[in-house]
Amino acid sequence: MLATAALGGIFGLSMLFITMAYNHPFSTNARIYFSVTQIFPAVKGRVIEVPIANRTNQHLEAGEVLFKLDPKPYEYIVAEKRAGLADAEANVAQLKTPVDQAAAATAKAKAQLELAQATYDRQAELFQKNVVAQATLDTARRNLDASKDATTETIAAEDRARQAYGATVDGEHSVIVRLRNELADAQYDLDQTVVRAPTSGFVTQLALRPGVYVVPAPLFNSALIFVNDSPSDRALAAAFQQNALQRVHAGDEAEVLFKGIPGRVFKAKVRVVIDAIAAGQLKSGGTLVSVGGALPEDRALAVLDIVEDVSAYQIPLGSAGEAAIYTEHIHELSLLRKILLRMRSWQNYIFLEGI
């Protein structure tokens, strides 16, 4: 009888905990994840100033200067491009004068042609009425032919002048357009010698100092790490067994504890259950994925939002914790899960480091 009672008790407790784990899952692996930006300069150069050297781990607004590179090499390029543009504008202006003169001559010739055509038409009409003699009409025809020849010649001269002037882009000489774009590109590089904060955030573990040579290449170490501190750049995620999230939905009640805050449990809600597991991702490459070995049983992630005010507590980004989610199914068992979670929170009072 005693063995039967013990076996029944073990079976009952096992079913209780299995049911609780399925309907109110628990994870020992929760963490505050945050995004960082690796700061690479857009141009290479030697660092000459780090204005934030004494402001590490302090809030910075977007656009604040992080560090400056030696601008002299880029200033020389800007000055060279500006001088080249000025010379080109002067040369183009000289080439433009014959074009303007030829265009004016063409306009004048076309006006004279219109006048000669009108005179001929009028004389031809008068000749039909026997008002003028044949000689008068012949004179008008010769004048018209001369105007046509003169107009053809001036148009050809204008074409030759425009060919000598060169190609244009939207009415502007192509050389001027190219040099102006080169100047703008050089000015952009000069502006990039001042590296600014991409968003609001802070810089931590800053080792960058004047004299360091930095390059805009991700193959090398970044100049510094910038931690983005906007709420959208951080997330509390908990990793659960895949079968534990079958009944979890966005909006479900949750609780979370942090190992750095013993004896305290914070209320939360499920924001989303991420519909992807890292072990299954495929990356472009030249080899097929091998599945010869055992597949890793990676966990699925649920993102939680803390709904309590935690501003009074020191919770660094990256803090580890534990989390429980309470679904609407068999809600009575959620009380047991809450008790167990609080017991685990009390255990965090015990740590041996430093003893």
Q: What is the dihedral of CA 10, 12, 16, 18, to 10 degrees?
A: 60
Q: What is the pLDDT of residue 288?
A: 75
Residue 38 pLDDT more than 80?
A: yes
Residue 355 pLDDT more than 60?
A: no
Could you state, in order of their start, the residue ranges of all structural domains in the chain?
19-34+230-279+299-347, 41-70+193-221, 74-188
Q: What is the pLDDT of residue 130?
A: 72
Q: What is the pLDDT of residue 256?
A: 96
Residue 82 pLDDT more than 60?
A: yes
All residues at 6 or more sequence positions from 126 whose CB lies less than 8 Å from its CB, including other chains: 132, 136
Q: Is 324 exposed, middle or buried (0-12, 13-18, 19+ CB in 10 A)?
A: buried
Residue 224 pLDDT more than 80?
A: yes
Q: Does domain 41-70+193-221 have CATH number 3.40.50.1000?
A: no
Residues in the chain: 355
Collapsing DSSP to helix, strand or coil, 140 comes out as helix
- Architecture of the CATH domain 19-34+230-279+299-347: Beta Barrel (2.40)
Residue 8 pLDDT more than 70?
A: no
**How far is residue 70 CA from its own chain's centroid?**
26
Residue 12 pLDDT more than 90?
A: no
**Which range, 65-74, 80-89, 176-185, has the best average confidence (pLDDT)?**
65-74
Region 21-34: mean pLDDT is 91
In 3D space, the residue among 273, 82, 294 whose CA is nearest the CA of residue 184 turns out to be 82
Q: What is the pLDDT of residue 173?
A: 72
59 — pLDDT class (breaks 50, 70, 90): very high
**Whole-number average pLDDT of the chain:** 84
Residue 76 pLDDT more than 70?
A: yes
Q: Is 289 exposed, middle or buried (0-12, 13-18, 19+ CB in 10 A)?
A: exposed
Distance CA 141, CA 124 (A): 9
Region 34-45: mean pLDDT is 92
pLDDT tens readout for residues 284-343? 777 777 766 665 668 889 999 999 998 899 999 899 999 999 999 888 888 988 999 999
Distance CA 110, CA 96 (A): 21
51's tokens: 């204005």
Q: What is the pLDDT of residue 305?
A: 93
pLDDT tens readout for residues 329-345? 888 888 988 999 999 99
Strands 224-228 and 194-196: unpaired
Q: What is the pLDDT of residue 254?
A: 94
